[in-house]
Amino acid sequence: MTVTHNTLKPWPRLASQLVHTLERPWLSAIVRKSAVEDTLNALHPLLSLDTVKARVVHITHESPTVRSFILEPNAHWQGARSGQFVRVQAEINGRRTERAYSLSSRGGAQRLALTIKRKEGGLMSNFMHQQLRVGSVLTVSQAEGEFVLPANEPLPGKILLLSAGSGVSPVMALMRELHEQEYAGDVCFLHVCRDASEQIWVDEMLLIGAQMPGLTVVTHLTATQGRLDAQALLATVPDLAERATWLCGPAAWMDQVHALWAEKGYASTLTSERFGGGPTVPADAGTPVSVVCERSATQFMTEGAQPLLVQAERAGLAPKHGCRIGICRSCQCTKKSGTVENLLTGEISSAPNEEIRLCISTARSDVTLAL
């Protein structure tokens, strides 16, 4: 969703004109945009020319491993639809690190809620759990994603909200939206977690349940009831075929549900959100992988283990370059996603939005470049 000038609030509109002016070469020779941004930041940590910054106003310990962070965004925030996510940026040990988090709050809410599970050894989730305090400021993107309820048409009569583990965040946002809209249809909220200690929002669900006669809440505890496979799912929700379903949970489990839909040929919609399945095992060097170049709108397959610069040139692109041995950085470009190996150091990295040198990087998975 792109927002035009006219729909912006007064300050963001003024700021975006200011940014435009500051980017003129003659003016940026006098004052850099980064200097203005730093000055604003020193005046107030939420002030910015063009970025959404959000202050932590409250932290809730939902369970031993899950916390919710309630954020108050600055004027650049353009709102969200329930179920969407934001990309959160934090500087961790000097490095800007970015991860996507679903909003567990309703789209229309003034304050944003992120509900984050601490992953053993995970960079961002541990940072959030350990370093964030009330008053900390994070940089967040505008809302993105298609995991939303239908906008300009009536809601389906029967709905299944199906979540497992931390996948409950965007599903809860949908639940809250249905509650807000006083949805009168039949909705089943089925959440899978290990045991009762991992169950969150119990009180809120009771409250919502009392106000929504059509709501059934089912919690499936895998520690006692075993995994919720296709059979168990059909047993729990016999009218599955009739329910428009919103699904979020571990990748392998979601694949099973999708397979069930395909196998049975259900006509009802199945909408899902993927959190991404942790670090992928890198492909062997030289395995053909797909490279997508965004700016030039091209896609090609790699051949052999040569660096991406050579591969791109073979595909007919002409990336900027100089030394071709990793010294000058002329060939540097942003890797949006995927795993690459640095041929000089042997380092393998999968971080999103990372600057890489094409002349010394080989692809070890499908990659997307800003090129």
Ligand X SMILES: Cc1cc2nc3c(=O)[nH]c(=O)nc-3n(C[C@H](O)[C@H](O)[C@H](O)COP(=O)(O)OP(=O)(O)OC[C@H]3O[C@@H](n4cnc5c(N)ncnc54)[C@H](O)[C@@H]3O)c2cc1C
The C-alpha atoms of residue 112 and residue 169 are separated, in whole angstroms, by 12
| Positive/negative CA dihedral, 48, 54, 56, 58 | positive
- Which CB atom, from 33 or from 119, has the smaller least distance to ligand X? 119
Residues in 255-294 at the binding interface with ligand X, rule: CB under 6 A = 273, 275-276, 278-279
Supply the minimum distance, in Å, between the C-beta of residue 332 and other proteins. Answer: 6
Residues in 41-100 at the binding interface with other proteins, rule: CB under 8 A = 91, 93-97
**Could you give the string, one character per residue 183-222, with x where binding to ligand X holds by CB under 6 A and - elsewhere?**
----------------------------------------
Q: Which stretch binds ligand FES (CB under 6 A): 130-138, 263-271, 292-300, 329-337?
A: 329-337
Supply the minimum distance, in Å, between the C-beta of residue 368 and other proteins. Answer: 17
Residues sharing a CB contact under 8 Å with residue 98, sequence separation 6 or more, in sequence order? 87, 88, 89, 352, 353
Find which of ligand X, ligand FES, other proteins, none residue 359 binds, CB within 5 to 8 Å per kind.
Answer: ligand FES
Residues in 319-338 at the binding interface with other proteins, rule: CB under 8 A = 322-323, 325, 327-330, 332
The answer to whether 13 contacts ligand X (rule: CB under 6 A) is: no
The answer to whether the CB of 254 falls within 8 A of the CB of 272 is: yes
The C-alpha atoms of residue 92 and residue 117 are separated, in whole angstroms, by 18
Q: Which stretch binds ligand X (CB under 6 A): 124-132, 148-156, 174-182, 217-225?
A: 124-132
Q: Which residue has the tokens 């809440």?
A: 217
The single-letter code of the amino acid at 274 is R
The single-letter code of the amino acid at 216 is T
C-alpha triplet 2, 89, 308: angle, nearest 5° = 80
The answer to whether 277 contacts ligand FES (rule: CB under 6 A) is: no
- In the numeric block, which tokens belong to residue 91? 């500087």
SS3 for 258?
helix
Find which of other proteins, ligand FES, ligand X, none residue 275 binds, CB within 5 to 8 Å per kind.
Answer: ligand X
The answer to whether 344 contacts ligand FES (rule: CB under 6 A) is: no
The answer to whether 355 contacts other proteins (rule: CB under 8 A) is: yes
Q: What is the largest CA-CA distance in the chain?
A: 69
